[in-house]
Structure 1
Amino acid sequence: MSSERPINRRFAEDVHFNLVKPGPPRYRTRTDKPVRYFTVADKEGGAALGYVWAGDEDDAAAWEPRQAAGPRALMEGLGWFNRLEKAKGRGIRPSEAIEEMLAEPATGKYGRALPDSLTDAPNAAAVKALAKGD
């Protein structure tokens, strides 16, 4: 008599469990559809730090740091990203989120929204190109 037990094929392979931790609701960060965006300027010198854009068609919105502004633009983005996340959590459209941000322009750590800078772009890639090309 053999001491080996027969292998149950159901347990012969490794089992992997993927724990998916649900995060807060977020807008999509890319879209090929038209977007609206505004400029965030440095409170001290007035230079552009980046752009907040939003498009309702794809439920998308994001912060695009201006490359020429360096690390200051990246740090400023945390505040705008958090505001977008909170707006999504309240269930409002991306266009409504940027309207709220423009209504309270000086809420960034280093920068402030320029209310008169709200304009249209063909898509998010155009805003990204603007941020890189400055």
Structure 2
Amino acid sequence: MSGQDWTSPRLSEDMELSVAPGGPVRYARTTDKAVEYVAVANEESGVLGYLWACDADDAAGWQDRPAAGRDASNAGGFWIPKLREFKARGVSPSQMLAELAQGAGGGRIGQVVPGSRALASGLAALKEIAGDDKPKQPPASPVTRGR
């Protein structure tokens, strides 16, 4: 190359991003409105987390309970695809909760706790209920003493 500056329109043009078709159909993952929720529990860990729904934003999801450890994360791996199945069938988020409240699940992935359907003012409130309202902090570094 010569000492002249070389430019290409491809390097200075704005990129146009577009959503590619396909992929799983899913409910919106967030909302700023009130959410209905049900508890999911197993015998070993107790409450694993909460399935939540908001019809106003066509949103639904899984909020794990950190105190339940890996069981909560593993349960989410079962429940999240279930939510996609309901969305693919065209079921509203609240109807999905009603159907799941009929006793879906079982074993280590948990089962919807009968009579646990409740309302939270929003996802932040549900995270607080789940015990996941604390900011994530890095582990404290060990203190080293001078000699």
The TM-score normalised by the length of structure 1 is: 0.80
> What amino acid does structure 2 have at the position aligned with 1:97?
M
Quick check: 1:102 aligned with 2:101? Answer: yes
The residue aligned with 1:84 is: 83
The residue aligned with 1:31 is: 31
Structure 1 position 18, deviation (Å): 6.1
- Output aligned runs, 1:1-134, within 5 Å: 12-14=8-10, 20=20, 22-42=22-42, 44-45=43-44, 47-107=46-106, 109-132=108-131
Which consecutive unaligned segments of at least 5 residues does structure 1 have? 1-11
Structure 1 position 21, deviation (Å): 5.1
Which consecutive unaligned segments of at least 5 residues does structure 2 have? 1-7, 134-147
In 1, Cα distance between equivalents of 2:80 and 2:126: 16
Contact 2:38 2:50 in 1 (8 A): yes
Higher-RCO chain (CA-CA 8 Å, sequence separation at least 6): 1
Q: Number of residues paired by the alignment?
A: 123
In 2, Cα distance between equivalents of 1:54 and 1:108: 23
* 1:12-43 CA-partner distances (Å, limit 9, x unpaired): 4338786835211111111111111010011x
> What amino acid does structure 1 have at the position aligned with 2:85?
K
In 1, Cα distance between equivalents of 2:75 and 2:94: 20
In 2, Cα distance between equivalents of 1:60 and 1:80: 14
The residue aligned with 2:139 is: none
- Worse-superposed segment, 103-112 or 46-55: 103-112
Percent of residue pairs identical: 39
Pair 1:91–1:98, CA change in 2 (3 A):
same
Contact 1:106 1:113 in 2 (8 A): yes
In 1, Cα distance between equivalents of 2:49 and 2:89: 24
In 1, Cα distance between equivalents of 2:80 and 2:9: 43
The TM-score normalised by the length of structure 2 is: 0.73
Structure 1 position 104, deviation (Å): 3.0
Contact 1:48 1:66 in 2 (8 A): yes
* Aligned Cα root-mean-square deviation (Å): 2.5
